[in-house]
Amino acid sequence: MENADIEPFYDMFPEFDFAEEEERLMKEEMNGMLEKMDKEELKPFFSKEEFDENYELILKNKYPFEKALDLLKHVGYENAIKTTGHSIFTDTSLKKRFERKIIFENEKTEGKDEKLLIDLCECYILLDRWFSYELLPICMSCLLKVALNRKEDKESLKEVEMDLLALSNARYQEIEQELYLNEIKAIIKYHQEHCNLTQLAYQSAWQILIDQLFFDHSLDHVIVNELHCAREAKRELEELAGCVDWKRKEEEEIGEKESREAKILKRWLQTSAFFLEHCRLWNEDIVELFNSIVQIFQVAKDNHRDISRKCIDCFRYANYNRTVGIDLLLESGVVDIMLEETVKNKAEDMQIKYYLNFFEVVCKRLKEMEEEGMDEAKRKEGKRKIHEKEEEEGFEDFIISFQEILPHYTLYHRHSDRIDFSDYVIRL
Q: Above 90 in pLDDT, residue 203?
A: yes
The predicted pLDDT at position 417 comes to 46
Q: What band does 416 get if pLDDT is binned at 50, 70 and 90? A: very low
Q: Return the pLDDT at 324.
A: 93
Highest mean pLDDT among 1-15, 68-82, 167-181, 299-313: 299-313
pLDDT (mean) for 140-161: 93
pLDDT at 156: 93
pLDDT digits (tens, 9 = 90+) for 207-250: 999 999 999 999 999 999 999 999 999 999 999 999 998 987 65
205: pLDDT strictly greater than 90: yes
How crowded is the C-beta side of 205, counted as CA atoms within 13 Å?
Answer: 30
Say what the pLDDT of residue 353 is.
80
pTM across the whole model: 0.86
pLDDT band at 256 (very low <50, low <70, confident <90, very high): very low
Distances 313 to 170, 310, 319, 339, 341 between C-alpha atoms, Å: 21, 5, 10, 14, 13
Checking if the pLDDT of 177 tops 90, the result is yes
Comparing CA positions, the residue from 10, 3, 13 lying closest to residue 43 is 3
The 3-class secondary structure across the chain, one letter per residue, is CCHHHCCCHHHHCCCCCCCHHHHHHHHHHHHHHHHHCCHHHHHHHHCHHHHHHHHHHHHCCCCCHHHHHHHHHHHHHHHHHCCCCCCCCCCCHHHHHHHHHHHHHHCCCCCCCHHHHHHHHHHHHHHCCCCCCCCHHHHHHHHHHHHCCCCCCHHHHHHHHHHHHHHHCCCCCCCCHHHCHHHHHHHHHHHHHHCCCCHHHHHHHHHHHHHHHHCCCCHHHHHHHHCCHHHHHHHHHHHHHCCCCCCCCHHHCCHHHCCHHHHHHHHHHHHHHHHHHHCCCCCHHHHHHHHHHHHHHHHHCCCCHHHHHHHHHHHHHHHHCCCCCHHHHHHCCHHHHHHHHHHCCCCCCCCHHHHHHHHHHHHHHHHHHHHCCCCHHHHHHHHHHHHHHHHHHCHHHHHHHCCCCHHHCCCCCCCCCCCCHHHCCCCC
What is the Cα–Cα distance from 71 to 79, expressed in whole angstroms? 12
Residue of higher predicted confidence among 324 and 371: 324
Please give the pLDDT value at position 273: 97
Could you tell me the pLDDT band of residue 25, with boundaries at 50, 70 and 90? low
* More confident site: 425 or 199: 199
Confirm if 406 and 419 have CB atoms less than 8 A apart. yes
* Rounded CA separation 388/124 (Å): 53
Name the least confident of 6-20, 129-143, 373-387.
6-20
pLDDT of 181 reads: 96
Tell me how far apart the alpha carbons of residues 378 and 326 are, in angstroms, rounded to a whole number: 9
Residue 422: partners with Cβ closer than 8 Å, 6 or more residues away: 363
Tell me the percentage of the chain whose pLDDT exceeds 90: 48
Task: Tell me the pLDDT of the chain averaged across its residues.
Answer: 83
- Residues in the chain, overall count: 428
pLDDT band at 61 (very low <50, low <70, confident <90, very high): low
Q: Assign residue 255 a region: left if phi > 0, alpha if psi is -120 to 50, beta otherwise?
A: left
Percentage, residues of the chain above pLDDT 70: 79
Are 27 and 48 contacting, i.e. CB atoms less than 8 angstroms apart? Answer: no
Residue 195: which pLDDT band, with cuts at 50, 70 and 90? very high
